[in-house]
A and B are shown apart, each in its own frame.
Chain A
């Protein structure tokens, strides 16, 4: 349910496109994008809520410092989106509050 304005793609040389699913909606992104960039391309704002106070957050620094881009990727919670490149078929979801260790897919990635 991405519902904010998406970021705009400028004319570019990227050829390889992949499809990721942001809250189940397919989004075409460039193969080198980070998962956080895909979140912005999909307009998924906020992309998480904090465990401390459930306040809404979104990617902030995009360089691995702030940890505001924590998202659920392929069922694994609390992934640092700006440091993880997209993969075709990647499923991205909002990270709501603290990690739920019993959540779907929590056991999938040993």
Chain B
């Protein structure tokens, strides 16, 4: 399964462009099908949305205007225990997956009511199968005795969870390499050309030839997609996460804005969804995020922030992913999303199966970039 050189360039069955969570999950999934895979990645200073990921495996509220997205999100969440278990077995790395449910905390009655109505709509769209509850403040206290009095309530979904995205990236990378996968940090891909049945991919340090190419380069997909007859209307959405020092366990469920990691550090974002942070990396934004966190959990007031993250989220006009195979260049696939953690198990599983076999039961037609042309 190790890629080998051919005709002066290196060669693999499949090349995945982008070594973030999306690319690595797909690369690992392709290896399951016996393909030799190379991941083409940049160096240490790439944009790396994966390193700024909040780490939620989040279901509630996702896909409120797109049932297919709600469906693949939940499918991925259900696949997660299996993937986490395999990674632990194969690499010894525990990605700290926990799926015991999560809460979305609301600071006003209006916010809570809007959320309650949204989740009710989603339950209807799912034919009644969309487990969640709306909790008032005393009920939230059962989950979080330290919750602030500012909180009006929360929505709870038993399918929500979280994991450590950095350990996940490490586990995916180690497993991929252990199976003979090559990660080529030769720099940003310059060109993708089709030569007969195969692709030739040029980087600043060499070239690859492959039968399949997967574009998983995040914002880089915008420039790569047209080279294989596709379009990737992605744009950056700058988001911030604050990271506070390690504290003893106090938060036993993730929330949409605050979660405690396995190490004890506290991650704080200002989010509607798993990575939907506010834009900008200014003090104003950080202060705003901190203010909300302290209102939710007044105990955090004295806890010190040691780091703030600004990461560029990969957004599409409607916020949903793009999954599309090229018609003009068979063998080229485009994968773009901003939920590399939640959808990670889907990417390693059914999505990689689709790329390997060109056949799937996933509702992928809903995720073609075509939808933006209408």
- Interface on A for B, CB 8 Å cutoff? 51-52, 76, 78, 97-102, 106, 109-110
Contact = CB atoms under 8 A, between A and B. Distances in A.
B141 interface: no
A99 B304 CA distance: 10
Chain B CB within 10 Å, residue with most, of A52, A99, A100, A109 = A99
B302 A102 contact: no
Interface size class of B (residues with CB under 8 A): 10 to 19
Given A51-B264, A78-B245, A102 B250 contact: yes
A98 B248 CA distance: 6
A83 to B, nearest CB: 13
A52 B263 CA distance: 8
B302 to A, nearest CB: 7
B294 to A, nearest CB: 11
B301 interface: yes
Chain B interface SS verdict (over half): loop
Contact of B303 (A51, A52, A99, A110): A99
Contact of B248 (A76, A97, A109): A97
B191 interface: no
A100 B299 CA distance: 10
Contacts of A51: 246, 263-264
A54 B246 CA distance: 13
A110 B146 CA distance: 16
Contacts of B299: 101-102, 106
A109 B247 contact: no
Interface of B: 146, 245-248, 250, 263-264, 299-304
Contacts of A52: 246, 263
14 contacts: A51-B246, A51-B263, A78-B245, A99-B246, A99-B248, A100-B247, A101-B247, A101-B248, A101-B299, A101-B300, A101-B302, A102-B146, A102-B299, A109-B302
A100 B302 CA distance: 11
Contacts, number: 36
Contacts of A110: 301
Contact of B304 (A78, A97, A106): A78
B303 A98 contact: no
Given A106-B299, A110-B301, A101 B245 contact: no
B245 A100 contact: no
Contact of B264 (A76, A98, A102): A98
A101 B250 contact: yes
A51 B302 CA distance: 17
B169 to A, nearest CB: 20
Contacts of B263: 51-52
B364 to A, nearest CB: 44
A101 B303 contact: yes
A97 to B, nearest CB: 7
A84 to B, nearest CB: 14
A100 B248 contact: yes
Nearest to A77: B302
Contacts of A99: 245-248, 303
Contacts of A76: 302
B265 to A, nearest CB: 9
B264 A106 contact: no
Contacts of A97: 248
Contacts of B146: 101-102
Contacts of A78: 245, 304
Nearest to A100: B248
